[in-house]
């Protein structure tokens, strides 16, 4: 071999490792690039060509008890734990909802079985793929563990409309992650590329097509930053008066307040990001008019006004008001909660949407943390005086209990949590509304517990303790608050039954996020629940088994959008069966930090066929299918307008107003009743309700003789009553009357027109009452205003019996002595400053134009006048003898019936079966309701939508007397829990009223 050949061979040999190294480096660079910059990824999955496809549900095995079965890690393969890591530098996050532990359920690999993604605040997030029914394997190669960030909420979302579910993860004070699904188990974090790598106190992201352009936009919910060093040693507030502000280095954490501290934690501003459709999002928060700071714990896209454009409800923790943003259909929103709901929760937690009363309109259930037992309520209540400002000034008012906002199909919601039995659920995080037993009615599930018992009023806590410490530092050495989760079965008619124990869902621990899906595809909804410091719970739904399944049919519905987003997120679907119509909204993100599988589930009860299925797609297309098979998973592809299926495009400008027998009119819109501030509870601290705002009284008659009825509207203390003349059909004019103005300090609770003098014009009698003046104050005097025939009124005390200076409530007129003129009954409401005592009511007889007290002549016994706390009264001929009888409504008493026998009244309450009608009656009217020729009664009561749940066996009770031995009398409300009687009011209120109780019960636990 020649030297040249040898050198050439040697040269090639020496270059070979270099070439291999170069190739290896290029390969590694290409591999790294595929991870760091993977490009646009695979092509979108094809849209099915068939409009409707069906697949039968699996048949489950009978397992014994009809309940939810909790499957352990050894059965499911899911061994994920959200720990309480007391060594973690962010451990102070356990104090609040930022503890984390989000859940997302969805089919990431299109194999027909939903998979589960779990977030761990201090640990690694994990993706579990379902490989067999309820058998899971962790997909470690997916690289979706969140790194070192403290994760909070998670959402499966098709971010790029390619038919694959991607994962969006929220983190605390670290960039959020967007793991785009590239297929074959590959995910790549493209958050920065899409413009959604937001660093904030992020909680949860919820998606909807708010601008109806075919792709999903994002609402990012945020909470607050926690200062790692704890509360500052010195106040961070500078400036005085209206120029107070926070030092720049503290502005991230605090804001000025009006309490003793002078500063407090500040919530963050949420974000609205519009999907541009080209793998990019634009922050339109300010442009869209999404404003305000808050401690957001949940957010729901909810088309509350049913115009086809998704609106936004934000549930905020602490004193921050909840927000309802109405979609203006032009890219902007208006905040309308004050005009839409009567009140909200206070410490708003999770929220969910569903049609709980099956009236075809979607309702909203928002959770708070009101305890289910007397003990927990009183121990957690603390000093309510600290919260007086929030209680008295919030608009709308905030109350520490769950809120069930019923959609009335009008611009105003109704709140009915007490009525439904859903007001109290303990320290709740998640609320889930779903039909778990497939009977056609949506049920409710709550998760409960907390890392520590942060609301225990007996744990020493004051401002000095927090100096240089976080909230967690104060409570870290205390015990966790473990509570039972709750499940309520919907029995219809807004009646819910606590089935936590029989359904097997009463786990005792600390449960936070929860999501539902039909994991095993057997037609009922299973549950996945994130527990703190113990493994995740996977509940298999075994409620309905064997032959019972023929009485509990179901329908699973998968939507595939064309013009709408691929998963049909935001669609509203109506299923009509022989039993009626039910509605569902496809919005996977609900509850708290979690997203359900993006399918719709209908429980159908005994109905074996869906007569029609109407889908209102987010694009505005409406599509109807007839005779849809049940007990199947049905896939429906959005049709174009010209498709063979009944479709139509609708802008849904405004929902059609419900048909009513009355039309709304506001002829008195300019007449405003104004109550001045008055603290009833300073006089009697334990009053059940205010007594200074019981008016106004109102009386109608044709005063000016033009053929149209006019009105007197009573005034409040400090505001004169008004004469409102109807000058034409539905056209009213307010008229100032000098005599009324002179008595502006009186509180007008009752009024009636009568021709006292028989001169052909109408005079006015006004009952004074209220709680603002001491006994026998002249401003409590009833008033008689005489009409001179020319609409000039003057006060005529000389025609009225003197001394009527009690707290009156009502005046009712009738010719009770049948002498041809109208006489009066004046009801007494209570004894001033001594509620619940009352004084005798009064009968005034018209004696030739003078009103004289006629109790001795009218009552068969003097005791008859002691009717109790009268709220309303009406004269009616009960026994059809030609003499007007008197029916009286009372508070803490019965509906009283006084029979008139030749001008003499006697008590016939028992005779007419009314003695047992005890209640808190407010009003009474007499009319022939059933058209049978006699008079019936309509009597209004306080209602069932209150915290009181009185029964015959366990009535509400009220005690009044000198409990302190100091000569002062107080009242105590009492209620039963099981068979034990407890005071309604807590330690703070009770000891403020009766200080000796503080010595007897030094702690809230003792009380």
Asked if the model's pLDDT at residue 200 lies above 90, the reply is yes
Q: What is the pLDDT of residue 816?
A: 97
Last residue of a domain, one of 799, 819, 854: 799
pLDDT at 6: 38
Cβ–Cβ < 8 Å for 986, 384: yes
DSSP of 751-768: EEEE-SSSSSS-EEEEEE
Q: Per-residue pLDDT for 46 more than 90?
A: yes
**Same domain membership, residue 213 and residue 362:** yes
pLDDT band at 120, cuts 50/70/90?
A: very high
Residues 344 and 483 in one domain: yes
One domain, residues 292 and 340: yes
For residues 715-729, give the mean pLDDT: 95
**Average confidence score pLDDT of the chain:** 92
342 and 491 inside one domain = yes
Whether the per-residue pLDDT at 825 is higher than 70: the answer is: yes
pLDDT of residue 125: 98
Predicted confidence (pLDDT) at residue 507 exceeds the cutoff of 70: yes
838 and 717, same domain (yes or no): no
Q: How far apart are CA 392 and CA 913, in angstroms?
A: 42
Same domain, 546 and 565: no
Q: With 60 as the cut, is the pLDDT of residue 643 above it?
A: no
Q: Are residues 458 and 477 in the same domain?
A: yes
pLDDT of 858 strictly over 90: yes
Cα-based torsion angle of the residue sequence 168, 171, 174, 179 in order, rounded to the nearest 10 degrees: -20
Q: How far apart, in Å, do the first and last CA atoms of the chain sit?
A: 107
pLDDT at 18: 60
Q: Is 76 exposed, middle or buried (0-12, 13-18, 19+ CB in 10 A)?
A: buried
Residues 547 and 557 in one domain: no
What pLDDT is stored for residue 802 in this prediction?
83
Its domain, for residue 744, covers 665-799
CB atoms within 10 A of CB 969: 14
Write the secondary structure of 399-434 as one string of H (helix), E (strand) and C (coil).
ECCCEEEECCCCCCCEECHHHHCCCCCCCEEEEEEE
> CA 580 to CA 602: how far, in whole Å?
13
Which of 551, 567, 589 marks a domain boundary?
551
- pLDDT-based confidence at residue 640 (cuts at 50, 70, 90): confident
Whole-angstrom distance, CA of residue 36 vs CA of residue 853 = 94
Percent of the chain residues topping a pLDDT of 90: 81
Q: For residue 642, what is the domain's CATH number?
A: 2.60.40.10
Q: Does residue 417 contact residue 403 with C-beta atoms inside 8 Å? A: yes
Say yes or no: 481 and 575 in one domain: no
Question: How much is the average pLDDT of 144-157?
Answer: 98
Could you tell me the pLDDT band of residue 671, with boundaries at 50, 70 and 90? confident
**Is 236 inside a domain boundary?**
no
Residue 709: is its pLDDT beyond 70? yes
657 pLDDT higher than 60: no
Provide the pLDDT for residue 3. Answer: 40
Whether residue 772 sits in one domain with residue 757: yes
More confidently predicted of 715 and 66? 715
Say if residues 92 and 55 touch (Cβ distance below 8 Å). Answer: no
pLDDT for 361 beyond 60? yes
Q: How confident is the model at residue 646 (pLDDT cuts 50, 70, 90)?
A: very low
User: Does residue 412 surpass a pLDDT of 60?
Assistant: yes
Cα 800 from Cα 808, distance rounded (Å): 15
CB 325 within 8 A of CB 290: yes
pLDDT tens digits, one per residue of 241-269? 889 999 999 999 999 998 878 899 999 99
Give every CB contact of residue 609 below 8 A, 6+ residues apart in sequence.
577, 578, 627, 628, 629, 630
Residue 235 included in any domain: no
Q: What whole-number distance in Å separates Cα of residue 911 and Cα of residue 922?
A: 22
Q: pLDDT per residue over 886-934, tens digit each? A: 999 999 999 999 999 999 999 999 999 999 999 999 999 999 999 998 8
Q: Which residue has the tokens 């909680």?
A: 203
Least confident of 12-26, 533-547, 990-1004: 12-26
Question: Is the pLDDT score of 832 beyond 50?
Answer: yes
- Domain boundary among the residues 799, 815, 835 is at 799
Q: For residue 48, tell me if it sits in a domain.
A: no
Contact 554, 562 (CB under 8 A): no
How many domains are there within the chain?
Answer: 5
Instruction: Look at residue 641 and tell me whether its pLDDT is greater than 90.
Output: no
In terms of domains, do 558 and 544 share one?
A: no
What is the model's pLDDT at position 61?
A: 73
Q: Answer yes or no: do 638 and 699 share one domain.
A: no
Which contiguous run of DSSP H or E holds residue 728? Answer: strand 722-728
pTM for the structure as a whole: 0.92
Residue 45 domain-assigned?
no
Model confidence at 5: pLDDT above 70:
no
The region of weakest confidence among 36-40, 85-89, 327-331, 824-828 is: 36-40
Distance CA 249, CA 245 (A): 12
Domain-located, residue 985:
yes
- CA-atom Rg of the chain in angstroms: 34
Residue 144 CB neighbour total at 10 angstroms: 24
Do the domain assignments include residue 28?
Answer: no
Does residue 447 belong to any structural domain of this protein? Answer: yes
Strand 312-317 with 293-301, pairing: antiparallel
Is position 256 within any domain? no
């Amino acid at each position: 071999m020649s030297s040249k050949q040898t050198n050439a061979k040697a040269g090639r040999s020496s270059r070979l490792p270099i070439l291999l190294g170069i190739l290896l480096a290029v390969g590694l660079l290409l591999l790294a690039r595929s991870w760091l910059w993977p490009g646009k990824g695979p092509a979108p999955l094809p849209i099915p060509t068939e409009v409707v496809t069906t697949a039968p549900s699996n048949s489950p095995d009978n397992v014994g008890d009809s309940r939810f079965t909790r499957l352990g890690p050894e059965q499911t393969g899911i061994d994920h734990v959200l720990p309480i890591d007391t060594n973690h530098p962010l451990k102070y996050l356990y104090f609040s909802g930022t503890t984390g532990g989000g859940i997302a359920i969805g089919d990431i690999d299109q194999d027909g079985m939903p998979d589960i993604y779990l977030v761990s605040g201090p640990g690694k997030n994990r993706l579990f793929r379902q490989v067999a029914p309820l058998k899971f394997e962790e997909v470690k190669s997916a690289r979706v563990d969140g790194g070192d960030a403290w994760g909070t909420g998670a959402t499966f979302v098709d971010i790029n409309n390619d038919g694959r579910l991607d994962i969006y993860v929220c983190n605390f004070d670290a960039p959020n992650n967007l793991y785009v699904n590239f297929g074959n188990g590959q995910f790549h974090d493209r958050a920065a590329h899409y413009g959604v790598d937001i660093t904030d106190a992020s909680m949860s992201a919820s998606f909807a097509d708010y601008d109806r352009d075919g792709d999903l936009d994002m609402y990012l919910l945020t909470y607050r930053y926690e200062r790692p060093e704890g509360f500052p040693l010195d106040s961070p507030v500078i400036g005085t008066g209206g120029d107070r502000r926070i030092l720049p280095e503290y502005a991230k954490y605090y804001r000025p307040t009006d309490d003793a501290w002078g500063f407090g934690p500040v919530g963050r501003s949420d974000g609205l990001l519009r999907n541009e459709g080209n793998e990019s999002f634009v922050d339109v928060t300010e442009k869209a008019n999404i404003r305000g700071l808050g401690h957001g714990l949940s957010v729901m896209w909810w088309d509350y006004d049913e115009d086809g454009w998704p609106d936004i409800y934000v549930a905020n923790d602490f004193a921050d008001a909840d927000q309802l943003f109405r979609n203006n259909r032009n890219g902007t929103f208006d905040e309308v909660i004050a005009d839409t709901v009567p009140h909200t929760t206070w410490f708003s937690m999770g929220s969910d949407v569903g049609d709980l009363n099956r009236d075809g309109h979607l309702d909203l259930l928002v959770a708070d943390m009101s305890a289910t037992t007397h003990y927990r309520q009183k121990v957690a209540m603390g000093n309510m005086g600290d919260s007086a400002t929030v209680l008295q000034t919030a608009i709308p008012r905030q109350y520490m209990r769950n809120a069930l906002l019923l959609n009335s199909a009008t611009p105003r919601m109704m709140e009915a949590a007490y009525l439904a039995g859903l007001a109290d659920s303990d320290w709740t995080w998640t609320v889930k509304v779903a039909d778990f037993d497939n009977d056609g009615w949506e049920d409710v599930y709550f998760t409960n517990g907390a890392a520590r018992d942060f609301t225990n009023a007996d744990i020493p806590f004051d401002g000095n303790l927090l100096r240089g410490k976080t909230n967690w530092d104060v409570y870290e050495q205390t015990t966790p608050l473990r509570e039972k989760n709750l499940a309520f079965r919907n029995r219809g008619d807004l009646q819910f039954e606590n089935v936590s124990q029989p359904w097997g869902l009463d786990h005792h621990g600390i449960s936070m996020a929860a999501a539902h899906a039909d994991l095993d595809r057997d037609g009922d909804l299973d549950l996945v629940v994130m527990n703190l410091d113990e493994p995740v719970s996977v509940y298999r739904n075994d409620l309905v088994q064997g032959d019972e399944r023929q009485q509990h049919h179901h329908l699973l519905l998968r939507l595939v959008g064309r013009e709408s987003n691929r998963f049909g997120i935001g669609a509203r679907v109506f299923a009509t069966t022989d039993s009626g119509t039910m509605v569902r909204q496809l919005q996977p993100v609900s509850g708290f930090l979690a997203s359900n599988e993006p399918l719709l589930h209908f429980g159908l009860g005994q109905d074996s066929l869906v007569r029609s299925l109407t889908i209102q797609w987010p694009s505005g297309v409406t599509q109807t299918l007839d005779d849809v098979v049940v007990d199947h998973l049905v896939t429906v592809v959005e049709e174009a307008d010209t498709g063979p299926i009944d479709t139509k495009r609708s802008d849904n400008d405004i929902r059609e107003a419900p048909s009513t027998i009355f039309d709304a009119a506001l002829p008195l819109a300019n007449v405003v009743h104004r109550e001045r501030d008055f603290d009833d509870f300073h006089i009697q601290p334990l009053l059940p309700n205010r007594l200074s705002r019981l008016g106004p009284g109102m009386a109608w008659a044709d005063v000016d003789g033009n053929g149209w009825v006019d009105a007197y509207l009573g005034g409040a203390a400090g505001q004169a009553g008004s004469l409102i003349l109807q000058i034409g059909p539905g056209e009213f004019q307010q008229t100032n009357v000098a005599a009324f103005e002179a008595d502006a300090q009186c509180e007008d609770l009752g009024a009636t027109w009568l021709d006292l003098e028989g001169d052909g014009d109408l005079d006015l009698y006004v009952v004074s009452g209220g709680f603002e003046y001491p006994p026998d104050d002249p401003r409590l005097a009833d008033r008689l205003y005489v009409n001179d025939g020319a609409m000039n009124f003057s006060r005529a005390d000389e025609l009225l019996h003197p001394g009527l200076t009690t707290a009156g409530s009502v005046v009712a007129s009738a010719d009770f002595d049948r002498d041809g003129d109208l006489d009066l009954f004046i009801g007494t409401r209570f004894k001033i400053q001594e509620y619940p005592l009352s004084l005798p009511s009064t009968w005034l007889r018209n004696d030739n134009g003078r009103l004289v007290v006629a109790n001795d002549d009218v009552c068969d016994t003097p005791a008859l006048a002691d009717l109790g706390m009268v709220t309303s009264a009406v004269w009616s001929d009960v026994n059809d003898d030609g003499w007007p009888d008197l029916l009286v409504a009372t508070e803490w008493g019965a509906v009283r019936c006084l029979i008139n026998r030749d001008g003499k009244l006697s008590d016939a309450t028992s005779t007419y079966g009314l003695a047992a009608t005890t209640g808190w009656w407010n009003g009474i009217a007499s009319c022939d309701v059933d058209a049978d020729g006699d008079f019936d009664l309509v009597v209004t009561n306080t209602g069932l939508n209150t915290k009181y749940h009185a029964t015959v066996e366990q009535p509400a009770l009220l005690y009044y007397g000198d409990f302190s031995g100091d000569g002062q009398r107080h009242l105590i409300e009492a209620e039963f829990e099981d068979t034990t009687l407890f005071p309604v009011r807590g330690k703070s209120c009770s000891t403020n009223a009766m200080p000796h109780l503080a010595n007897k019960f030094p702690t809230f636990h003792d009380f």
